Amino acid sequence: MRELPQLLDLITSFSRENPFPASPQELYEPCNYILTLGGKRIRPALVLMGHELYRDNVESALPAAWAVELFHNFSLMHDDIMDAAPLRRGKPTVHHKWDTTTAILSGDVMLIFAYRFLARCGDSDTVLQLIHIFNRVATAVCEGQQMDVNFETRPEVSIPEYLKMIELKTAVLLGAALEMGAVSANAPAADAKHLYEFGRLAGIAFQIQDDLLDTYGDPAKFGKQVGGDILQNKKTLLVLKTLENASESDCRELRKWMETSAENAVEKVAAVRAIFDRNAIPEMVSKEKQRIQQKAFQHLEAVQLPEVRKVILRKTVADLLERDS
């Protein structure tokens, strides 16, 4: 079985051997651009790991792995337009470097290429199973993005609604990556389902970790501006837990900060963080993350395989969930 770095090397080689067409250059160049911005490629790696649990011929899962990576980047390209985001991983987003027309059309063709790679994943029964999973999850990701868009302008968002949104927008794709890998290796259906649940729940925990790091991450390690969510008045789990648990006056103060754009960014981040801190919100959110994470790993335990097959996957996901940046 291969470790994460070896799997990432395989993915990089596959992407080099399967480039986008050269022409029309204006269509495909932005696709190549976003793929080289340096994402962690955790999703395609999970496809390969899901496959390697059952079979060693991991090469046969590479088209499915690449399809998942293309889908993820399609959704980033379109989300960046919707969020009017100027930067992604410190580099200009596609609609900023080129324009909105380019980001729409290049995103569209990336989604279609995801299906092109999927259609190459072995015999037609396997391909059809993969496409069913992919269709289900692609729909969920759009629905999650719509919920996220809706939440921006809604005054009240409940914690279950928030968890549903991050589940659809982010977590189900991690689950589907593992499930697709398992299906591409003809894994038993019950195992494939447990792996989906493992990835889905780990994905929710991962996203909660993201909320925590955005406010409490080490500025030296964290890629983005610490406090970015606070400055954008995002309704993160930290905010929602505060509104559910804090005193009326703390809730009022938090709402006041969230209704105004910051004149002094440092002051605003410090003030909101102080509200979180004095209500022990980071501890509460951390506990919620731990709870979901434990449920996730129970599904990995339920997978009917010898322990030794699961070591690399367990370690990879555990590392992801303990990351500090």
Return the structure tokens found at 280.
């022990």
| Rounded least distance, CB 305 to its own copies, Å | 27
Residue placing its CB nearer to its own copies in the complex, 18 or 146? 146
Nearest to 154 by CA among 254, 79, 235: 235
Residue placing its CB nearer to its own copies in the complex, 146 or 316? 146
| Rounded least distance, CB 72 to its own copies, Å | 13
- Distances, alpha carbon 127 to alpha carbons 68, 71, 73, 237, in Å: 14, 16, 21, 38
Residue placing its CB nearer to its own copies in the complex, 118 or 243? 118
CA 148 to centroid of chain Cα atoms: 14
Half-sphere exposure of 324 toward its Cβ, with a 13 Å CA cutoff? 6
Q: Measured between alpha carbons, how far is 89 from 145 in angstroms, rounded to an integer?
A: 20
In the complex, the residues that contact its own copies under the rule CB under 8 A are 24, 26-27, 78, 81-82, 100-101, 104-105, 107-109, 111-113, 115-116, 119, 124-125, 127-128, 131-132, 135, 138-139, 142-143, 145-147, 149-150
> Look-up: residue for tokens 């189900």?
172
| Rounded least distance, CB 82 to its own copies, Å | 4
Residues linked to residue 91 through DSSP beta bridges, in sequence order: 88
Torsion of CA 90, 93, 94, 96, to 10 degrees: -120
- What does the DSSP assignment read for 89-139? TTEE-HHHHS-HHHHHHHHHHHHHHHHHHHTTSSSHHHHHHHHHHHHHHHH
| Rounded least distance, CB 235 to its own copies, Å | 16
Q: Residue length, the chain?
A: 325
Residue placing its CB nearer to its own copies in the complex, 40 or 132? 132
Return the structure tokens found at 49.
């790991």
| Rounded least distance, CB 24 to its own copies, Å | 4
Return the structure tokens found at 217.
């991450």
| Rounded least distance, CB 162 to its own copies, Å | 14
Q: Measured between alpha carbons, how far is 30 from 45 in angstroms, rounded to an integer?
A: 23
Q: Measured between alpha carbons, how far is 107 from 113 in angstroms, rounded to an integer?
A: 10
Residue placing its CB nearer to its own copies in the complex, 57 or 139? 139
Residue placing its CB nearer to its own copies in the complex, 96 or 116? 116
Residue placing its CB nearer to its own copies in the complex, 127 or 258? 127
Residue placing its CB nearer to its own copies in the complex, 138 or 275? 138
| Rounded least distance, CB 113 to its own copies, Å | 7
Return the structure tokens found at 239.
């905010």
| Rounded least distance, CB 168 to its own copies, Å | 10
Return the structure tokens found at 100.
């909105």
| Rounded least distance, CB 139 to its own copies, Å | 6
| Amino acid occupying residue 27 | L
Residue placing its CB nearer to its own copies in the complex, 81 or 205? 81
